[in-house]
C-alpha cells in the first residue's frame, strides 16, 4: 500500500509523510508531548478539528488503533472480547487462533478482563485489533507494559504479518533502539512538527542532531552463516574460570571454529553473521529478520483475501520464519557508544587477545567535534570496507563516539584505515 498523508492540528501536530510502497512497519518516535499520539489520532479520524489529507493508494482502508491503556470490554472475558471483534471484521482478518498465538495470549482466553495485568491486557488488545482485520494498525505505545522478550516476539509476528499481507503498522515507542532495528521507515516528531521521514539511516542523523538520541546507531545488513554455539548463558558471558593457572573466558571457548548446526535457538544464541565479507558474532536478541525479499506487490491480495488464504504459498512465510537459518538475511544495530577504534590494522581482525569478538575494517570518512555541551567527545563516521568478492549493496556508515584525547593519542585523521571493535551480545 502506497501511503502519503498531511496533517494539521494547530498547536499539536503538523507535517507531511510519504512512505515507500514496500514499507509496512513504520516506527514513530520523539520526545514526550511532541505530537506522536496526536498524529495517530488524526490518522484515525478522532480529531475533528484536524485538517488531514491522506492517500492510501487503491483502497479505502479500515483503520484500527490500540492505545497504551487498552479499552477492553469488561463484561465479557478475553475470548468474548475477541469474538465481539469478529462481528464487524473485514474479510481479510486473521483468525482468533492466529491472533492469540502471535500475541502470546492463548492461555488468557478464559480470564476475566479485570484479572489481567497491564501487559496481558495489551496483548489481548492487539490480538483483538488484528481479528477485526484492519488495513492500517496504529499502536500508540501499545506494547509498553509487555516484557522485552515477549514484546520482541509480538513485533516479529506483526512484521511477518505485514510482509505476507497488506497490513501496515504505525508503531509509537520510546524504545528507540528497538524501533531502529524493526522499522522499514521511521517518523521523527519534535515540537509538534514532523521533522524527518524516511529510512532509518536517513532519520537517525536528524534524531541525533535534535537530541533524541545521545549517540547514533548504524543498522547493518548481514547474512547468517551459522550458529556459533548452541547456547550462551548470561552467566557464561560474565564468568571466567582458571585452568592450570590460566584464566580463560567460557564465551570465547564456545565461539570456536567448530560451529554447531542449527538447533533450538533462544535469546542468547550466538550467530555468525557475514557483513561486507567480514564475520561478526551476534546474539539473537541483537538481530532481526531483514525485510522480506518478496516484494509486497508480488503478494497483493484482493479485498476479500485472508491471511490464511496466503498459507498455500508457504515458501513466502518460510522465507521469513527461516531468516535466522543459514543464508538468511538479517539486520543488526551497532551503537556508536559501543564502538572502539584500533589503529593496529596489522593485527588479525578476528583476534584472540580481546573479549571483544567483533571487528570491521573501516576507513575514517569524517571526524565531527560535538557542541560545547558535549565537549570532550568526537563522532567518527566510518566506511566499512567490503571484503566480499561478490557485489552487494553498500553498508551505511558505522559511527563511533570517542574522546578527543583518544583522537589526539591515536592521531586519527580522515581517510585513515582503522579497525572498529564492538560487542553484539
pLDDT band at 256 (very low <50, low <70, confident <90, very high): very low
The boundaries of the domain holding residue 78 are: 3-214
pLDDT confidence of 46, banded at 50, 70, 90? very high
Does pLDDT of 17 surpass 90?
Answer: yes
Question: pLDDT at position 274, please?
Answer: 93
What percent of the chain is modeled with pLDDT above 90? Answer: 56
User: Alpha-carbon distance 9 to 24, whole Å?
Assistant: 25
pLDDT at residue 188 tops 70? yes
Closest CA to 66 of 123, 116, 140: 140
**For the whole model, what pTM was predicted?**
0.81
Reply yes or no on whether the pLDDT at 298 is more than 70.
Answer: no
pLDDT of residue 392: 56
Average the pLDDT over 34-50 and give the result: 94
Percent above pLDDT 70 for the chain: 79
Question: Of 310, 333, 356, which residue is a domain's last?
Answer: 333
3 state DSSP class of 229: strand
Whether 318 and 354 map to the same domain: the answer is: no
Count of structural domains, the chain: 3
Say what the pLDDT of residue 205 is: 82
Cα angle: 58, vertex 60, 66; to 5 degrees: 125
pLDDT band at 121 (very low <50, low <70, confident <90, very high): very high
pLDDT at 355 over 90: no
Same domain, 29 and 77: yes
**Mean pLDDT (whole number) for 171-185:** 92
Whether residue 236 is found in the same domain as residue 143 = no
Residues 373 and 225 in one domain: no
What are the angstrom distances between the C-alpha of 236 and each of 54, 184, 233, 241?
52, 34, 5, 10
Same domain, 346 and 290: no
Q: Which of 292, 308, 333 is the last residue of a domain?
A: 333
Residue 179 grid cell: 524501533
On whether both 312 and 359 belong to a single domain, the answer is: no
Range 223-247 average pLDDT: 56
- Asked if residue 227 has pLDDT above 90, the reply is no
For residues 238 and 279, state if they share a domain. Answer: yes
Domain boundary, last residue among 184, 214, 244: 214
What's the helix, strand, coil split of the chain in %, to 5? 30, 30, 40
**Mean pLDDT computed over every residue of the chain:** 82
Whether residue 407 sits in one domain with residue 348: yes
Length of the chain: 425
Mean pLDDT value across residues 76-100: 94
Across the beta sheet with 25-29, the strand order is 51-55, 3-9, 13-19, 193-198, 185-190, 25-29, 168-172, 136-140, 63-66
- Both 309 and 342 in one domain: the answer is no
- Please report, for the domain that includes residue 138, its CATH number: 3.40.50.300
pLDDT reported for residue 371 = 65
Kindly state whether residues 297 and 350 are assigned to the same domain: no
Contact at 8 Å (CB) between 136 and 61? Answer: yes
What integer pLDDT is reported at residue 288 of this predicted model?
85
| pLDDT given at position 259 | 46
Say if residue 202 is in the same domain as residue 243.
Answer: no
CATH code: domain of residue 387: 2.40.50.100
For residues 19 and 137, state if they share a domain. yes
d(CA 201, CA 208): 11
Instruction: Using alpha carbons, select from 335, 311, 333 the residue that is nearest to residue 321.
Output: 311
Amino acid at each position: 500500500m502506497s501511503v502519503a498523508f498531511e496533517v494539521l492540528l494547530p498547536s499539536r501536530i503538523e507535517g507531511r509523510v510519504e512512505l515507500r510502497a514496500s514499507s509496512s512497519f513504520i516506527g514513530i518516535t520523539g520526545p514526550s508531548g511532541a505530537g506522536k499520539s496526536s498524529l495517530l489520532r488524526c490518522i484515525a479520524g478522532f480529531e475533528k478539528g484536524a485538517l488531514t489529507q491522506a492517500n492510501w493508494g487503491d483502497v479505502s482502508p479500515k483503520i484500527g488503533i490500540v492505545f497504551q491503556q487498552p479499552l477492553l470490554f469488561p463484561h465479557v472475558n478475553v475470548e468474548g472480547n475477541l469474538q465481539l471483534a469478529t462481528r464487524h471484521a473485514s474479510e481479510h482478518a486473521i483468525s482468533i487462533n492466529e491472533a492469540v498465538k502471535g500475541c502470546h495470549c492463548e492461555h488468557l482466553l478464559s480470564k476475566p478482563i479485570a484479572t489481567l495485568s497491564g501487559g496481558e491486557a495489551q496483548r489481548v488488545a492487539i490480538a483483538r485489533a488484528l481479528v477485526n482485520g484492519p488495513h492500517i494498525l496504529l499502536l500508540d505505545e501499545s506494547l509498553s507494559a509487555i516484557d522485552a522478550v515477549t514484546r520482541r516476539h509480538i513485533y516479529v509476528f506483526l512484521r511477518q504479518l505485514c510482509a505476507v499481507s497488506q497490513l501496515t503498522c504505525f508503531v509509537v515507542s520510546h524504545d528507540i533502539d528497538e524501533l531502529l532495528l524493526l522499522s522499514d521507515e521511521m517518523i521523527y516528531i519534535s515540537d509538534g512538527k514532523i521533522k524527518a521521514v524516511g529510512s532509518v539511516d536517513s532519520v537517525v542523523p536528524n534524531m541525533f542532531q535534535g537530541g533524541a538520541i545521545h549517540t547514533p546507531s548504524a543498522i547493518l545488513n548481514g547474512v547468517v552463516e551459522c550458529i556459533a554455539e548452541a547456547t550462551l548463558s548470561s552467566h557464561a558471558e560474565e564468568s571466567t574460570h582458571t585452568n592450570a593457572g590460566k584464566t580463560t573466558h567460557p564465551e570465547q571457548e564456545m565461539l570456536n571454529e567448530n560451529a554447531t548446526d542449527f538447533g533450538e535457538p533462544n535469546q542468547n544464541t550466538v550467530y555468525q553473521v557475514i557483513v561486507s565479507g567480514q564475520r561478526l558474532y551476534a546474539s539473537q536478541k541483537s538481530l532481526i529478520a531483514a525485510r522480506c525479499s518478496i516484494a509486497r506487490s508480488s503478494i497483493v491480495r484482493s479485498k476479500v483475501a485472508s491471511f490464511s488464504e496466503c498459507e498455500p504459498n508457504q515458501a513466502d512465510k518460510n522465507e521469513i520464519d527461516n531468516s535466522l537459518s543459514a543464508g538468511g538475511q538479517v539486520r543488526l544495530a551497532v551503537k556508536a557508544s559501543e564502538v572502539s577504534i584500533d589503529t593496529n590494522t596489522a593485527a588479525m581482525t578476528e583476534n584472540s587477545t580481546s573479549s571483544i569478538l567483533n571487528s570491521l575494517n573501516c576507513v575514517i570518512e569524517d571526524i565531527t567535534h560535538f557542541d560545547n555541551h558535549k565537549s570532550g567527545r568526537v563522532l567518527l563516521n566510518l566506511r566499512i570496507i567490503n571484503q566480499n568478492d561478490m557485489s552487494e549493496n553498500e553498508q551505511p556508515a558505522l559511527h563511533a563516539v570517542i574522546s578527543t584525547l583518544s583522537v589526539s593519542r591515536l592521531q586519527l585523521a580522515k581517510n585513515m584505515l582503522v579497525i572498529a571493535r564492538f560487542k553484539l551480545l
